[in-house]
Amino acid sequence: MGVIINCKHLRLFLFLLWAILALSCKDNTVAVQEPEPSSEYTPLRSVAPFPVGVALQSNRLSSGPHSQVVRTVFSSVTAEYEMKMRHLTDPSGNYVWGPTDALVAFAKEYDMQVHGHTLVWHQSTPSWLENFSGTDAEFEDAVEDYITNVVGRYKDDVVSWDVINEAFEDGSGALRNSVFRRRMGPDYIARLFQYARNADPDVLLFYNDYGTIWDAAKRDAMFSMIDDLQTRGIPIDGIGLQMHITYNTPSLNNIVAVMDAIVQRGLLIHISEMDVRVNPQGDLSELTTGRSELQKQRVKDIVMAFMDLPEANQFAITWWGLRDPESWLIDFWGNPEWGLLFDAEYRPKPAYDGFLEALTEN
């Protein structure tokens, strides 16, 4: 028996379709059903004696659960990418402040501190600077202007900046041959720090890198740079240890040895980009209880080691993302990975308990 659709049915159908769409859309975005975060756990910020941070992308602030967990649990934020040069300026060199202004406003509203990341990074050089057609002196003026503008804009809101990120090569510790090194000469790092200090006498200035725990040449290069800056009275306040590690490497002893060497130099320590890979060999297709417990112990050990440092040297611990599926680790390593404190459903993992236990049992 055939179905006859007359005009009246069609109008009713179209009206219902419109009503459903209108209810599920806001600002042209189809609303995605998101899990509700649980509130039955202790927020890290309520017990940590130092700032606990998280890397954030401004587009995720529009997600209710995401922003709720961030502001409840953490007391510091870092832009995961939006405060880098290639994002703070467009290809012609005009400033793009929208996303970072939004992040800073969010942090202010919820009483969180902001760590600025990063003024200079060879992997985020915008094309207007990479292909700069003026003289070397004009290039340096442009870099100084940039630092003055960016640090100056957030003078009242950003407490600390990574002045330069990852300046040394893996394996050799040689200064990377970036456009900054080529156009400003081998002493360019000292001048970047000085420009940042001139822009804000109070902001804390960091050198940030990965691999300084397990790569001896890179570590030596970093400490030589620090010693040189300090001998010459160039301002530097702290070191960011990125802490992209796995559940079983590097050893805690090696981590502690590097932290001690930083303490000996009177600098602040920022565990600046923490995540703990549990699947470095790619043998897991889902997170097992066993690996999860190893991750928990690893987090606990590191937080305890950080808390054993003299208080004057403890700057902060920052997680490089909130939920496992949002982490850069998955694309970068090409394995399923669960490196962070929260799972896809915004549930705190055993690693979260490890962090809490270190804070409360110490």
Contact assessment for residue 117 and residue 56, using Cβ atoms and an 8 Å cutoff: no
Q: Which one of 144, 166, 286, 357 is the catalytic residue?
A: 166
Per DSSP (E only), the strands in the chain are 25-26, 29-30, 52-56, 76-79, 113-121, 158-165, 204-209, 238-241, 244-246, 268-277, 314-319
Question: Of 25-33, 80-88, 180-188, 250-258, which segment contacts ligand 9MR by CB under 6 A?
Answer: 80-88
Nearer residue to ligand 9MR within complex by CB, 80 or 144: 80
Residue from 45, 66, 71, 84 in contact with ligand 9MR (CB under 6 A) = 84
Q: Is 80 marked active-site?
A: no
81 burial type by CB count under 10 A (0-12 exposed, 13-18 middle, 19+ buried): middle
Lay out the site mask for ligand 9MR across 327-346 (x = CB under 6 A, - = otherwise): -x------------------
Q: Tell which one of 42, 65, 72, 81 touches ligand 9MR (CB under 6 A).
A: 81
Helix or strand (DSSP H, E) at 68: helix 64-73
User: Which of 173, 146, 153 is CA-nearest to residue 104?
Assistant: 153
- Interface mask toward ligand 9MR for 131-170; x: CB under 6 A: ----------------------------------x-----
Instruction: Characterize 138-172 residue by residue with b for buried, 16 or more Cβ atoms within 10 angstroms of its Cβ, and e for exposed.
Output: ebbebbbebbeebbebbeebbbbbbbbbbbbbeee
Please say if 273 is a catalytic residue. Answer: yes
Q: Is 124 in the site for ligand 9MR (CB under 6 A)?
A: yes
Is 324 a binding residue for ligand 9MR by CB under 6 A? The answer is: no
Q: Does 246 bind ligand 9MR (CB under 6 A)?
A: no
Q: Residue 319, SS3?
A: strand
Q: Which residues bind ligand 9MR (CB under 6 A)?
A: 80-81, 84, 124, 165, 242, 273, 328
Report the catalytic residues: 166, 273
